[in-house]
Amino acid sequence: MAEDLNQQEPTAEEKAKFENDVLKAAEDAMKMDGSTGSPTENKADAQAEEKVAEPSDAPAENAADAAEQPAEPAAEQPAEDPTAALKAALADANDRNLRLIAEFDNYRRRTAKEQLELIETANGKLLEKLSEVQDNFERAFASENKAQDLEAFEKGMQMIYNQFAKILTDAGLEQIDPTGAEFDPNMHEALMQQPSETVPEGHVVTVFQKGYKLKNKILKTAKVIVSSGK
């Protein structure tokens, strides 16, 4: 039995022949399909064809990628001209300046009008009081009120004078009587100089005409005679 198995096993030459027959049959089959190269050459040719085919597929892939990508945003607007912005700011500033000037001018006119009305009102009140003094003078000089006694007439004149002086004082008028005071060129007007035994040099000897001031404002300087010393 063992001998029969050994006789049936092919020899090395038979195996080699069998392989050659198989390869030849494969080559014949490939030739029949129109292929002249070896399997190895055909494989290399196939790879080369794939490599050549790849660039032709690239545009399609790029087109697909382009379709998938979102559309590019619109072109950006050009930046605003700085000169135009400065011109707009300047125009706005000029407009505000003109408005302020107009408002100030209206305020100035309104204030001047109010001051004038205030002065007129104050003068009206003062003149009303002074008119009473005038009425008293007219009554004193009326023919039916003439006094036979000069002393009574003088007393009446004194009353009218006191009334007049009080009205001026209440209005803020103040007399300047610098007799014996040091000469002040801001408040006094020197008419002349004369020697004096009692009044020091540079002081007022005699007041020729009194001065007047309203509050701290000099309305009228006093006319005086100044001592030149002994």
- Supply the pLDDT for residue 133: 92
Alpha helices, H only, 142-205: 150-170
CA-to-CA distance for 197 and 228, rounded, in angstroms? 10
The model's confidence at residue 141, banded by pLDDT at 50, 70 and 90, is confident
Average pLDDT estimate for 213-218? 88
Look up residue 93 and give its amino acid. A
Question: Is it the case that residue 92 has pLDDT exceeding 70?
Answer: yes
Eight-state DSSP code of residue 228: -
Using CA of residue 184, residue 189, residue 195, residue 198, what is the dihedral sign? negative
Span 117-127, average pLDDT: 84
Strand, coil or helix: 187: coil
Phi, psi (deg, nearest 5) at residue 88: -65, -40
Per DSSP, the residues of 93-127 read HHHHHHHHHHHHHHHHHHHHHHHHHHHHHHHHHHH
Higher pLDDT, 144 or 191: 191
Average pLDDT of the residues in 193-201: 88
> How confident is the model at residue 216, as a pLDDT?
84
> What average pLDDT does the segment 98-120 reach?
91
Q: What is the mean pLDDT of residues 138-151?
A: 76
Contacts of 191 (CB under 8 A, 6+ apart): 208, 223, 224, 225
Per-residue model confidence as pLDDT tens digits over 18-35: 777 767 776 776 666 554
Tell me the backbone φ, ψ of residue 91, rounded to 5 degrees.
-65, -40
Chain centroid to CA 106: 22
Q: At residue 116, does pLDDT exceed 70? A: yes
pLDDT for the residue numbered 150? 80
The pLDDT assigned to 35 comes to 46
pTM over 0.85: no
